[in-house]
Structure 1
């Protein structure tokens, strides 16, 4: 890694160790007053060794450092940029001679310069291209934007609020720029390029510093671009931008440094040119000015390095697959301080124990084995329990508990009964204010012992166990000042347990090596940050030696001490914590606790740090929602909801975020003449957005409406279908790979099919007879013959009928199944994940839904009923929280809201 130091007039080289860490910097002078701005790396003399080019703003030149292949470099050779002051630099072979050339962005002369490489480390004089008066170009990117096999240059023009593209010629020269606006006052400061919508045409993204937004310009592939689409960064001014696939979904994501707000922002790409809202990650600095995206620890996941101007720091954010799911909260006692897990009732399911400092008790939450837990059972103990640990202290194969009681100067042992309950407490004296407890076999007698960190007496207490649930009196060992957290493991590989303690007031950790007989050597101390609060142990650099990680409360960072395996440790490596879900941050966070584990199953240890019903979505008053459909109406690949409101003759669109929640709805008055009764959606014209079809209560028409970029709708085609069209569904009924429509009529014994042509238009209606009044119709392949079948709910005959499709637009005779009372709506899906389609029916008058599980041959099991407690309306299904389980949405006509039932 190479960093330019603007004030110090040098560049610093950090040699990587392939595990995400780097050597101390090796500095190379760029000359007095050079004020280097940006650096670039490439092989300039074709010796297969990396060289460095640096834009020296202060001395009007480009500095070249040729690499010797061992991490060292020659002295700088300077290439003049004449009167121009270079502020940005990029490398590419612009004239197709297999030699790297240099392009600089020049401050003051409103230009860019090209220095053509000779392949021996030397370069031509600058060729300059003027970018326009007051353009103040700030950044550039070199790519082929018009697919002519010649590289082009795209420049962010800060002053003129545009992106200027200079298209390349075959001889390495460039045409005059063509400008694409980024908006008045946008002041684009940084630019990058990538394939954002999977169309093999390079797109552009810019950081618009002046408007606190990111601009995306999608390419048409011919050298022109669509108008900019912007994404707000809130109160942050984006300063530097880059792209990479950060979540390994084969879609490019955007990363920007935010000036003034101590963070960077990540916008995940959806692969269709649209990006999710920004997620922010703390950097601890208000002037993060540059970043690099690369896999620094060789785990096949992209990491980010951020350069911060005000702190002089380089922050490394190591990539992981994803963050953590939303929390589920469980009540405990007052002021819980410590938690541990174990199987307390011997059911092979993990349970939780919590020490409640404020209520002088501890809570037991028994686990169900599916990630959920019972309500707490609480057990009283002495004053101010601060820390808890578990183990089998009496060798009865049942877990017991030991608690450090801070205000009573003792530990309490509670022997488990193996059913989730515990015997009365047994007390043992410790030092003053015990704050942390851990267990281990310190004298190699196969019996568990206890160690306690005593905060006020500046020592640890060791209580040797007899194996019957009782312990010897304490033996104390001196530590530093204010021991707060204790850990146990073997640091010198002698098969004897050792102790490590954080010393809050001494700003260090103490290591006490065990002799294997229950006694310990005098402490060895290692410096940490200020106010070390909690400690955890693991092998962080995969050298099979234990390392130490410490949370530093007062400096809001962590210290990592890498172990040598001989009881000694390297000097600490410190850094502000940066984590996807902001588990810990900079100033004022008052970090409290740390633990380690493989949180995302990537075989790499992670650090977790502690700082100090269903859903109801209103559709408006008196709206009386009558039908609901799901589709992607805004083109972000996440499922959205559309609702027709019978009472107000409107529709609501609720945009989904893929997590089972939705934005506040926006009502679109589509000027319905009649009350809309039924809605469904599909992509009939193959534009990758869902269109909607609406049927009405008192007309013979169905309308097809198309969605535009602003998620507004416009009626484009009306079809006459039959008398009072009540239900609509879509599918490919004639196997031509184009979507068709089926409409059921409320007061007749028939339905109609409109065969689609794939361009949004349809054939005239083809009518089919059915045995009873249809209330609702849905489609699916129920017998796995790759032909679409139909299920129809019959309100008055209290049944549903299944019609098997022949694949030519016609259907078999009906097979009926009894359903409760007045079946009102029907939907299909695989509810038990057996890869066979099932049916779900909402009954109008008996407050339940019925599920008919499919056998895969066109027949179904008898209904299974589920009470809902309300009169139901229309029903549909979809996976709204991306858990691979189908969910159900129901529109309540009598309560003016929607209900989302997430599947188990």
Structure 2
């Protein structure tokens, strides 16, 4: 079945082993960051939706997992750089009916990466427990309750300090229901408590990130609420400070960011306080709000992020000790690309450099695929391909 699907996709798109040239939009930024031309290969699923990277088999190199709404399973490869030769995928992993997002994280504390997959059709989150060899032979389905119709995006962290990872998932609402957050507290032995459903601080929560925003040693939540996009509800960013027992305080709403979808946390100005990056898809930008260290933020600053940004990841891409951003640009004209914003170390960023990938990159991840110690980039593309950008930036690049 998988072989037939690959053959059909190959006939339709004729993109196997395709490489595309690098295009840099800004000379200064490009001089500080470089990637080899993209390796673009056929995806094992039609219309892939999400990609995850991590070392599933403990060989020191990142592996890949892919899900798509048209295929109710997870496909993994333990050798992404050999896909042009072998195109070897394992598509027998559990992932629900219509998977929306897949993440790799150790949710049971055994040292092996597990998979957490959300579902666009059901309020169910699928957890597959990794065996350390690249497979997920045992799994569990976690129901998010009655606050919405679909689990959308998730994050993993130990919320109550018991040493057992917990899971938080955004649940989309419908028909007047604003949706919610579903919190699954880990109980150990591959078990999770029944979902606690809490307010997201807005309507239609899209994504959630976990981090210590007020430096009290307790994980907090930040949520991008997309809103109804009508009657003045154009979304907000909400912070839920943790109590240390898996519960959270009343949400603190930050307005002024229209259409917030994807939110991530990182320290962009090296002050040891977590900052927020939020994508503005309609405004072709990323907004950076620097954290004060007390759970609040300075007014957000806007930075161009290429046309129709849809996914963002933070990583030190040029080895200078400063966080950079990589953004996938979904609806851009050919050549399609990833935009890289090199960090200046003070919470500001240089103009984006553009690196060509496959058609309509829907998500970007950062991981070391060739074992050279540098973070590379990979995208899942709506054109039913996967692209890998190997990092060729000279390392280290000294701070200026």
TM-score (norm 1): 0.34
Among 123, 135, 139, the alignment partner of 2:207 is 139
Partner in structure 1 of residue 9 of structure 2: none
Among 85, 95, 101, the alignment partner of 2:166 is 101
Partner in structure 2 of residue 24 of structure 1: 88
Gaps of 5+ in 2: 1-63, 228-233
**1:211, 1:161 → 2: CA distance?**
14
Contact 2:279 2:311 in 1 (8 A): yes
Among 201, 217, 242, the alignment partner of 2:313 is 242
Is residue 394 of structure 2 the alignment partner of residue 304 of structure 1? Answer: no
Alignment of 1:490-889 (within 5 A): none
Q: How big is the alpha-carbon RMSD for the aligned residues of Structure 1 and Structure 2?
A: 2.4
**2:236, 2:156 → 1: CA distance?**
22
Distance verdict in 2 for CA 1:233–1:49, change over 3 Å: closer
**1:279, 1:320 → 2: CA distance?**
14
**Cα distance, 1:35 vs. partner?**
0.7
**Cα distance, 1:222 vs. partner?**
1.4
Contact 1:203 1:217 in 2 (8 A): yes
Contact 1:30 1:36 in 2 (8 A): no
Contact 1:266 1:279 in 2 (8 A): yes
Distance verdict in 2 for CA 1:132–1:166, change over 3 Å: closer
Is residue 251 of structure 2 the alignment partner of residue 177 of structure 1? Answer: yes
**2:324, 2:107 → 1: CA distance?**
30
**1:223, 1:240 → 2: CA distance?**
24
Distance verdict in 2 for CA 1:252–1:6, change over 3 Å: same
**Cα distance, 1:230 vs. partner?**
0.2
Is residue 261 of structure 2 the alignment partner of residue 189 of structure 1? Answer: yes
Is residue 183 of structure 2 the alignment partner of residue 111 of structure 1? Answer: no
**2:193, 2:125 → 1: CA distance?**
12
**2:80, 2:236 → 1: CA distance?**
41
Cα offsets for 1:419-475 (capped at 9, x unmatched) = xxxxxxxxxxxxxxxxxxxxxxxxxxxxxxxxxxxxxxxxxxxxxxxxxxxxxxxxx
**1:173, 1:291 → 2: CA distance?**
31
**Cα distance, 1:82 vs. partner?**
2.4
Contact 1:110 1:132 in 2 (8 A): no
Partner in structure 2 of residue 327 of structure 1: none
Distance verdict in 2 for CA 1:24–1:130, change over 3 Å: same
Partner in structure 2 of residue 253 of structure 1: 324
Q: How many residues were matched structurally?
A: 320
**Cα distance, 1:61 vs. partner?**
0.7
Alignment of 1:54-453 (within 5 A): 54-83=117-146, 84=148, 85-108=150-173, 109-132=178-201, 135-159=203-227, 160-183=234-257, 186-234=258-306, 236-261=307-332, 262-286=336-360, 288-309=361-382, 311-321=383-393
Contact 1:5 1:12 in 2 (8 A): no
**2:320, 2:381 → 1: CA distance?**
29
**1:58, 1:225 → 2: CA distance?**
35
Q: Which has the higher helix share?
A: 2
**Cα distance, 1:312 vs. partner?**
1.4
**Cα distance, 1:200 vs. partner?**
0.9
SS in 1 for 2:310: strand
SS in 2 for 1:11: strand
**1:259, 1:127 → 2: CA distance?**
34
**Cα distance, 1:30 vs. partner?**
4.2
SS in 1 for 2:282: helix
Distance verdict in 2 for CA 1:213–1:31, change over 3 Å: closer
Contact 2:155 2:169 in 1 (8 A): yes
Distance verdict in 2 for CA 1:170–1:45, change over 3 Å: closer
Q: Which moved more, 1:153-162 or 1:245-254?
A: 153-162
TM-score (norm 2): 0.75
Distance verdict in 2 for CA 1:31–1:20, change over 3 Å: closer
**Cα distance, 1:182 vs. partner?**
4.1
**Cα distance, 1:93 vs. partner?**
0.5
Cα offsets for 1:853-878 (capped at 9, x unmatched) = xxxxxxxxxxxxxxxxxxxxxxxxxx
Is residue 74 of structure 2 the alignment partner of residue 11 of structure 1? Answer: yes
Q: Which moved more, 1:274-283 or 1:75-84?
A: 75-84
SS in 2 for 1:226: coil
Contact 2:105 2:113 in 1 (8 A): yes
**Cα distance, 1:117 vs. partner?**
0.7
Distance verdict in 2 for CA 1:39–1:187, change over 3 Å: same
Distance verdict in 2 for CA 1:56–1:76, change over 3 Å: farther
Cα offsets for 1:111-156 (capped at 9, x unmatched) = 11110111211111111122245x2211111000110100001111
SS in 2 for 1:139: strand
Distance verdict in 2 for CA 1:45–1:201, change over 3 Å: closer
**Cα distance, 1:17 vs. partner?**
6.8
**Cα distance, 1:75 vs. partner?**
4.7
**Cα distance, 1:23 vs. partner?**
6.1
Contact 1:18 1:298 in 2 (8 A): no
**1:215, 1:48 → 2: CA distance?**
35
**2:95, 2:112 → 1: CA distance?**
24
**Cα distance, 1:110 vs. partner?**
2.3
**Cα distance, 1:16 vs. partner?**
3.2
SS in 2 for 1:251: coil
Contact 1:92 1:142 in 2 (8 A): yes
**2:95, 2:128 → 1: CA distance?**
13
Cα offsets for 1:610-650 (capped at 9, x unmatched) = xxxxxxxxxxxxxxxxxxxxxxxxxxx98xxxxxxxxxxxx
**Cα distance, 1:162 vs. partner?**
2.1
Contact 2:240 2:248 in 1 (8 A): yes
Gaps of 5+ in 1: 323-599, 602-636, 639-904
**2:157, 2:83 → 1: CA distance?**
28
**2:79, 2:160 → 1: CA distance?**
33
**Cα distance, 1:19 vs. partner?**
8.4
